[in-house]
Amino acid sequence: MKYQINTLVAVTLLINIVIFTSCRKDWLDIKPEKSLVVPTTIKDFQALLDNTTLIFNSQAGGAGEMSAGDFFLLNASYSSLFSSEEKSAFIWSNTENFYNGEPSADWAGAYKRILNANIILEGLDKISPSQTELLSWNNAKGSALFFRAFDYYSLSQQYCKPYLEATASSDLGIPIRTEPNVNISVSRGNLQQTYAQIIDDLRKSISLLPIEPSVKTRPSKHAAYSMLSRIYLSMESYDQAFLYADSALQVRNTLMNFSALNAAATYPIARFNTEVIFQSTFSYGIFAASRLLVDPLLFSSYALNDLRRTIYFTNASGGMTYKGSYNGDKNLFGGLTIDELYLIRAECYARKGNKDDALKDLNYLLRTRWLGTFQDITATTPDDALGKILIERRKELIFRGVRWSDLRRLNRDSRFRSTLTRTVNGQTYTLAPQDSKYVLPIDETEIRLSGIQQNIR
């Protein structure tokens, strides 16, 4: 264990040197102390992959959740925020000082994790595993591919336009780095290339990863299926979203019964519970229970017999706050879960015209969230079912890091468009459907150093 920790500290230090200085040497040549260890073995690389706090399993995408409109802040809470990124994201700022000279936590954090993944992938490619090492080598490589795709997808949801097949080849993507040499200049490319890289990484990971992981902070085939389902949903590729959601549900499909949970607990939902497929978190000051207050209209949409009303929320000074994180603590959950898969499959059934199977999935989920006898939701048409599924999707997956992506795709449909408003210190801010502010700006330092094109706000 001591060896693994030393390796993690050393490599993290090396990567920080690469990212936050102007050094032009390859990272492997940087050894400011003789005690620093450069990873060379499968065990070394797996130790890096298992570093869930310093490196992986901390999701990019916080600014999207901040912007998604499911909560409000009191004036004093807003004023107490330290981060310009958090303040700007909350009010959908379009000023040039969105970051006020600070680095973007989401952008820099994601590319730091991507650099780690690339270091691991390059190192593994230099190893010819023996037959006894092959499973470990496959797992490490598949995990690195998964983590890289996970972060590239998060970046695409914040810094690119929503995917539209007709314009994907001309819309700006994000810089795609597939090797650890940070001295190579990389342009943004187009959105089609961005999604192609994400999907290719995940598909490759499927052939390498175990069906289920030994611990839920590790990727798996199950997680890759689930992630592809989420991605294809955001692309409005509903046939593919259905295929991967269904494949994931064939692996495991057990739901928690919320009636068995202790609603009086500070955090009623346990970490690594039976619904969790892949564990990931995001933690920002703006999401603190002492600040975050749930949109009253959203809270009132939960029926009195809906157990999510007491499992997800609790009274706080000024309103209702959130306590239903699948992380089992104050940090928001940004991973992959069984309940999301049921909602994706239900939506895809409805969009394919299969009302009955759509409602079957939806009602199966809701029965586990209800106190007493649940009356099945009914619908007269597939479109009627679709509308009801989308309402429940928002309520079930609140504060899970998916609402921002949902708004971006659903705002293209006049039936489901949403106009968001927030008021801070007497000033009201509005985010209209398909507004250019659904694409966040890249931080000014990155633009200045890399020369890549800025997004229009």
User: What percent of the chain clears pLDDT 90, i.e. is strictly above it?
Assistant: 84
Determine the pLDDT at residue 21.
38
Determine the pLDDT at residue 29.
42
Determine the pLDDT at residue 208.
99
CB-CB contact of 202 with 183 (8 Å): no
Confidence of residue 20 (pLDDT cuts 50, 70, 90): very low
pLDDT digits (tens, 9 = 90+) for 262-313: 999 999 999 999 999 999 998 788 999 889 999 999 999 999 999 999 999 9
CB-CB contact of 168 with 235 (8 Å): no
User: What percent of the chain clears pLDDT 70, i.e. is strictly above it?
Assistant: 91
What is the rounded distance in angstroms from the CA atom of residue 238 to the CA atom of residue 228?
11
Determine the pLDDT at residue 35.
45
Instruction: Specify burial of residue 52 (Cβ count, 10 A radius: 0-12, 13-18, 19+).
Output: middle
User: Which residues are 72's β-sheet partners?
Assistant: 293
pLDDT digits (tens, 9 = 90+) for 124-156: 999 999 999 999 999 999 999 999 999 999 999
Q: Does residue 424 sit in helix, strand or coil?
A: strand
What average pLDDT does this structure show over 188-192?
97
Determine the pLDDT at residue 37.
62
- Locate 180 and state its tokens: 């650890």
Determine the pLDDT at residue 18.
43
- Of 101-110, 361-370, 396-405, 429-438, which range is least confident? 101-110
- Locate 137 and state its tokens: 């080598």
CB-CB contact of 407 with 158 (8 Å): no
**Residue 333 scores a pLDDT above 60:** yes
Which residues are CB-neighbours of 256 under 8 A, at least 6 positions away? Answer: 269, 273, 274, 275, 368
**DSSP string for 60-114:** S-HHHHHHSSSEE--HHHHHT---HHHHHHHTT--STTSSTTPPPHHHHHHHHHH
Greater pLDDT, 169 or 23: 169
**DSSP string for 340-367:** HHHHHHHHHHHHTT-HHHHHHHHHHHHH
**Residue 19 scores a pLDDT above 90:** no
Q: Does residue 430 sit in helix, strand or coil?
A: strand
Is this prediction's pTM over 0.75? yes
pLDDT digits (tens, 9 = 90+) for 22-37: 333 343 344 434 345 6
Task: Give the chain's domains with CATH numbers.
Answer: 2-67+104-209+442-450 (1.25.40.890), 256-418 (1.25.40.390)
What average pLDDT does this structure show over 197-203?
99
Determine the pLDDT at residue 38.
77
What average pLDDT does this structure show over 437-455?
94
Determine the pLDDT at residue 5.
39
User: Which residues are 333's β-sheet partners?
Assistant: 281
Confidence of residue 453 (pLDDT cuts 50, 70, 90): very high
**Residue 182 scores a pLDDT above 80:** yes
pLDDT digits (tens, 9 = 90+) for 216-265: 999 999 999 999 999 999 999 999 999 999 999 999 999 999 999 999 99
Which residues are CB-neighbours of 71 under 8 A, at least 6 positions away? Answer: 292, 293, 294, 295, 322, 399
What average pLDDT does this structure show over 4-17?
46
**Residue 55 scores a pLDDT above 80:** no
Confidence of residue 60 (pLDDT cuts 50, 70, 90): low
What average pLDDT does this structure show over 106-135?
96
What is the rounded distance in angstroms from the CA atom of residue 187 to the CA atom of residue 443?
15
What is the rounded distance in angstroms from the CA atom of residue 331 to the CA atom of residue 267?
11
